[in-house]
Amino acid sequence: MVVPPTPENLEKAAQILRSGGLVAFPTETVYGLGANALDAEAVARIFEAKQRPSFDPLIVHVASREMLGRVACEVSPQAEALIGRFWPGPLTLVLPKAAAVPGIVTSGLPTVAVRMPGHPVALELLRRAGVPVAAPSANPFGYLSPTRAEHVARMLEDRVDLILDGGLTTHGVESTIVMLGEKPTVLRYGAIPVEELEPVVGPLELSVGESLKPLVPGQLPQHYAPRTPIHIARPEEVPTRGRKKLGYLAFQDVPRGFGVVKVLSPTGDLREAAAHLFEALHQLDMLGLEAIYAEPVLEEGLGRAIMDRLRRAATR
Residue 94's binding partner among Mg ion, ligand TXA, none (Cβ under 5 to 8 angstroms by kind) is: ligand TXA
The stretch among 74-82, 109-117, 196-204, 257-265 that binds ligand TXA (CB under 6 A) is 109-117
55 φψ region: left (φ > 0), alpha (ψ -120 to 50), beta (else): beta
234 annotated among ligand-binding-site residues: no
* 29 annotated among ligand-binding-site residues: yes
Q: In the complex with Mg ion, which residue's Cβ is closer, 89 or 136?
A: 136
If binding is defined by CB under 6 A, does position 136 make contact with ligand TXA?
Answer: yes
111 labeled part of a ligand binding site: yes
Strand order in the sheet with 176-179: 2-3, 162-164, 23-25, 32-36, 133-134, 59-61, 111-115, 91-96, 176-179, 185-188, 205-206
**Residue 127 assigned ligand-binding role:** no
Separation CA 196–CA 12 (nearest Å): 37
**What is the nearest approach in angstroms of ligand TXA to the Cβ of residue 146?**
9
Tell me which H or E stretch contains 125.
helix 120-129
Tell me if 176 is assigned to a ligand binding site. no
Residue 225 near residue 316, CB atoms below 8 Å: yes
At residue 173's C-alpha, the angle toward residues 186 and 301, to 5°, is 95
Distance CA 174, CA 32 (A): 10
DSSP 8-class letter at 222: T
Evaluate the omega torsion of the peptide bond into residue 88 and state whether it is cis, within 30 degrees of 0: yes
- Candidates 36, 54, 107, 137; binder of Mg ion (CB under 5 A) is 137
Distance between CA 180 and CA 185 in Å, rounded?
7
Query: Under the criterion CB under 6 A, does residue 32 sit at the interface with ligand TXA?
Result: yes
Report the residue from 112, 121, 123, 164 that binds ligand TXA according to the rule CB under 6 A.
112
Residue 36 touches Mg ion, criterion: CB under 5 A: no
Could you tell me which stretch among 133-141, 147-155, 233-241, 274-282 binds ligand TXA (CB under 6 A)?
133-141
Residue 90 or 247 having the CB closest to ligand TXA:
90
- Element housing 105 (H / E): helix 103-106
Is 135 known to sit in a ligand binding site? yes
Q: Which residue of 113, 126, 284, 314 would you call a contact of ligand TXA, by CB under 6 A?
A: 113
Q: Binding site membership for L-threonine: which residues?
A: 29, 61, 115, 135, 175
Q: Which chain residues interact with ligand TXA by CB under 6 A?
A: 27, 29-30, 32, 56-59, 90, 92, 94, 106, 109, 111-113, 117, 135-137, 174-175, 177, 179, 187-188, 215
